[in-house]
A and B are shown apart, each in its own frame.
Chain A
């Protein structure tokens, strides 16, 4: 079974802290994603990585950065956490496939609360 594992299910951090959200996948997928999910807004793409050390901004990259030093690991970094970054964060991976017709596999999500 494909597994995408996020390091924490629940996280509480203080305003101004540097926060690391870790995601590991075991299927040798090239593509990895970080989304945030807020009520009524669906999933919004924060950052995307298509290979080691390669990244591309999504729709809402402000206040976030990412790191992909190894193929299996994709980290999301909140440089200085703020209360408006309280959200559910979802990591996903997928193989590029032919015609982009491959499914994405998701982690269980990290519910981050910034106080």
Chain B
């Protein structure tokens, strides 16, 4: 059962623009994580936001969490061609499981 659903499924932007991806989830959570996956590789953790946080920054990444709407957004500012990847949100499931959404494919055009 998928907990998080990302939106949009695919996003194409010009280098230097900002990219925003959204994640909606179904049940109450105590944290939400974002991961990145380069083509054909494993996932890499980007950032974790706890349920008592509204916003968190890490370099060019900004994550928000709205627990009342059960949604999160990931903003990448001043995007670069190297940011081209798929981005996934992940939420805790039962028994320490981690449930991933279907991902957003980001293409940053040089």
| Complex Cα gap A4–B30 (Å) | 26
Within 8 A of A (CB), among B35-58: 35, 40-45, 48, 50
Known: A104-B43, A104-B45. A42 touches B101 (CB 8 A): yes
Contacting pair A96 B42 (CB below 8 A): no
A96 to B101: give the CA distance in the assembly, Å: 21
Interface residues on B, range: 20 to 34
Nearest CB in chain A to that of B51: its residue: A99
Query: Which of A43, A45, A96, A99 has the most CB atoms of chain B within a 10 A radius of its CB?
Result: A43
With A41-B102, A101-B31, A103-B48 known as contacts, the answer to whether A50 contacts B42 (CB < 8 A) is: no
Query: Cβ of A66 < 8 Å from any Cβ of B?
Result: no
Nearest chain A CB to B31's CB is how many angstroms away?
5
Chain B residues within 8 Å of A, Cβ to Cβ: 1-2, 9, 30-31, 33, 35, 40-45, 48, 50, 88, 90, 92-93, 95-103
Contact of B42 among A45, A58, A90 (CB under 8 A): A90
Q: A50-B95, A90-B43, A109-B42 are in contact. Are A43 and B1 (CB under 8 A)?
A: no
A-B contact pairs, 26 of them (CB 8 A): A31-B96, A33-B97, A33-B98, A35-B100, A40-B9, A42-B88, A42-B101, A42-B102, A42-B103, A45-B93, A45-B98, A50-B95, A59-B1, A88-B40, A90-B43, A100-B92, A100-B96, A101-B30, A101-B50, A103-B33, A103-B45, A104-B33, A104-B90, A105-B45, A108-B41, A111-B40
Closest beta carbon of chain B to A57's beta carbon, Å: 11
> Which B residues touch A59, using CB under 8 A?
1
Closest Cβ–Cβ distance, residue B17 to chain A (whole Å): 25
A59 and B98 alpha carbons, distance in the complex (Å) = 12
Size bracket of the A interface: 20 to 34
Asked if A56 is an interface residue, CB under 8 A from chain B, the answer is yes
Whole-angstrom distance between the Cβ of A81 and the nearest chain B Cβ: 21
Whether a CB of chain B sits under 8 angstroms from the CB of A48 is yes
